Amino acid sequence: MNTKMKFLVVLISLSITLCLMSNTYSRYVADTTGNVEVSFSKWQILVNESDITSGNTSTITLTPVVEENANVKSNTLAPSSKGYFDIDIDPSNVELSFNYDITLSVLNNDIPDIMITKYAILDSDYEEGDELELTVIQNNEIQGSLNYNKNVQNFEFEPMTIRIYFEWYEGNNESMDDDDDTLVGIDADNTTLQMQVDMTFEQKLA
């Protein structure tokens, strides 16, 4: 074999060897996709069994209870009457701490002696007649927080009730005299006690 033929054989052998090496090393290259799955904290609050976290303005009905008075028809108001209404809050499907703000107002401007006075927090174990810790309402506003106890393994908030008290005030510094009280009674068929409750629940992230 002459010199030119020997060179050609070497060149061909080298080319084949490089090709095999390339195929061998390519087996160490692979594609993969990784997925990171993280659950979102739940955020659903029921107020008097209505879901208020749908993103829309919600309107619910609050039923007042007027304390019984032997001299006044049941569940009607008269001077010195007292009563309350309950706001049932169910945050059992919430998984983060949150603040709540409740703003109260009496819409009957012509009956200024009817006022919202105090409130109490009723936990899920409350039974009617149990002694309550009453808090005087300042500036017609109730504020509070439900905070997650980080030592608790299962994140659960218990349902609770906020009981709000109102009364037809009679006493020192009352705004209405006896004649004003009598006019309300005369026009009773056209008069209804109207109160407004605005509730805001805000996630507490900091």
Mind listing the domains of the chain with CATH numbers? 43-203 (2.60.40)
Residue 205 confidence class, pLDDT cut points 50, 70, 90: confident
Cα of first residue to Cα of last residue in the chain, in angstroms, is 86
Return the exposure string of 33-56: e unless at least 16 CB atoms fall within 10 Å of the residue's CB, then b. Answer: eeeeeeeeeeeebbbbeeebbeee
pLDDT at 13: 46
How many whole angstroms separate alpha carbon 78 and alpha carbon 116? 15
This prediction's pTM = 0.77
pLDDT at 63: 85
Position 121 pLDDT exceeds 50: yes
CB atoms within 10 A of CB 129: 6
